[in-house]
């Protein structure tokens, strides 16, 4: 597919996606992308964060374009955080999340996470499912307010589409699982998903999460060391799947995360239900 065709496809996907009124907090706002230029801005931001900051290894096409993009971008909805003091539209993008529902995944033939995890139990869930991924925020905006705004946007999307289960891959830095042994062991011992909705790492990629053995685990230190995104999922009542996966291309150790929206704490989803409904009225 040519770049022009790819951009056109992404624009069609974004424009066709039902959205919600922009939710605001000061100069910041959160909404879905509506055109190819905004999606290009998302891909540029992901390049800067994943490749320039986190050390992901680009292939030739990615390096030449300085964009992080793949086939899933064309079918996904892209949640944006905008700072209107920077401009409008693509110029204002400072944060993003990629949202993929089952009908979108069907156009590709799979969810993105299926490259690392057996999702059969997740997909057997009796309700709508949503894959979350490719979350990143510009370095100047990594604060609590922006993360809460992203969750407000996800809350709106969940209510709009009646999502019952959210899942995706979340990352710890580096490709040495022993370097994050306390974090992986803590997640395995304390937040393993119920079997009925538990993703399981594919056998040829699986890395054990229980890595401490008889060594003492400082639970508080392990929790504190987790990346903010993973801690955010846990605050939402989230669980992790069985087994970690090393993603050498992105220089990360990945874990699967699952969140049942009926278990989500009042702090996020139920707190925002009223504002979402008022915005749609």
For range 7-35, the mean pLDDT: 69
Is the pLDDT score of 276 beyond 80?
A: no
For range 7-30, the mean pLDDT: 63
Greater confidence, 199 or 273? Answer: 199
For range 99-116, the mean pLDDT: 97
Q: How many CA atoms lie within 13 A of 73 on its CB side?
A: 27
For range 115-125, the mean pLDDT: 98
For range 9-29, the mean pLDDT: 65
Write down the pLDDT at residue 263: 63
Is the pLDDT score of 150 beyond 70?
A: yes
**Which pLDDT tens digit goes with each residue over 169-197?**
999 999 999 999 999 999 999 999 999 99
Is the pLDDT score of 7 beyond 70?
A: no
Residue 56, helix vs strand vs coil: coil
Q: How confident is the model at residue 155 (pLDDT cuts 50, 70, 90)?
A: confident
> In order of start, what are the domains of the chain with their CATH numbers?
3-280 (3.40.630.30)
255 within 8 A of 170, measured Cβ to Cβ? yes
Write down the pLDDT at residue 197: 97
Q: What are the structure tokens assigned to 184, written together? A: 């992986």
Nearest to 83 by CA among 41, 43, 25: 25
Above pLDDT 70, what percent of the chain?
A: 86
Greater confidence, 14 or 277? Answer: 277
- Cβ-based neighbours of 152, under 8 Å, separated by 6 or more: 23, 30, 268, 272, 275
Comparing 6-10, 114-118, 223-227, the range with the smallest average pLDDT is 6-10
**Which pLDDT tens digit goes with each residue over 43-67?**
999 999 999 999 999 999 999 999 9
Write down the pLDDT at residue 18: 52
Write down the pLDDT at residue 152: 86
Other C-beta atoms closer than 10 Å to the C-beta of 89 total: 15
Alpha helices in 47-135 (DSSP H): 60-65, 102-108, 120-123
Nearest to 104 by CA among 36, 10, 240: 10
Which contiguous run of DSSP H or E holds residue 168? strand 163-173
Per-state percent for the chain, helix, strand, coil, to nearest 5: 45, 25, 30
135 within 8 A of 96, measured Cβ to Cβ? yes
pTM of the prediction?
Answer: 0.88
Write down the pLDDT at residue 269: 58
Q: For tokens 């370097």, what's the residue?
A: 179
């Amino acid at each position: 597919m040519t770049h022009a065709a790819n951009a056109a496809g992404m624009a069609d996907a974004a424009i066709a996606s039902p959205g919600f009124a922009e939710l605001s907090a000061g100069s910041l706002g959160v909404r879905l992308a509506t055109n190819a230029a905004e999606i290009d801005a998302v891909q540029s931001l992901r390049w800067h964060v994943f490749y320039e900051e986190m050390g992901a290894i680009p292939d030739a096409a990615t390096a030449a374009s300085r964009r992080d993009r793949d086939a899933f971008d064309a079918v996904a909805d892209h949640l944006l955080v905008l700072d209107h003091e920077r401009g409008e539209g693509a110029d204002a993008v400072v944060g993003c999340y990629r949202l993929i529902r089952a009908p979108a995944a069907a156009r590709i033939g799979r969810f993105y996470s299926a490259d690392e995890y057996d999702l059969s139990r997740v997909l057997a869930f009796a309700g709508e499912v949503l894959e979350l991924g490719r979350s990143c925020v510009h370095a100047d905006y990594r604060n609590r307010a922006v993360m809460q705004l992203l969750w407000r946007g996800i809350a709106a999307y969940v209510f709009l589409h009646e999502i019952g289960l959210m899942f995706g891959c979340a990352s710890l830095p580096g490709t040495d699982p022993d370097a994050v042994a306390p974090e992986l062991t803590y997640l395995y011992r304390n937040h393993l998903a119920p079997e009925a909705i538990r993703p399981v790492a594919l056998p040829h990629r699986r890395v054990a999460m229980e890595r401490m053995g008889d060594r003492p685990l400082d639970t508080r230190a392990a929790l504190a060391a987790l990346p903010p995104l993973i801690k955010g999922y846990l605050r939402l009542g989230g669980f992790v799947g069985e087994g970690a996966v090393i993603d050498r291309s992105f220089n990360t150790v990945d874990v699967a995360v699952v969140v049942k929206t009926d278990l989500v704490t009042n702090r996020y989803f139920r707190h925002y239900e009223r504002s979402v409904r008022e915005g749609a009225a």
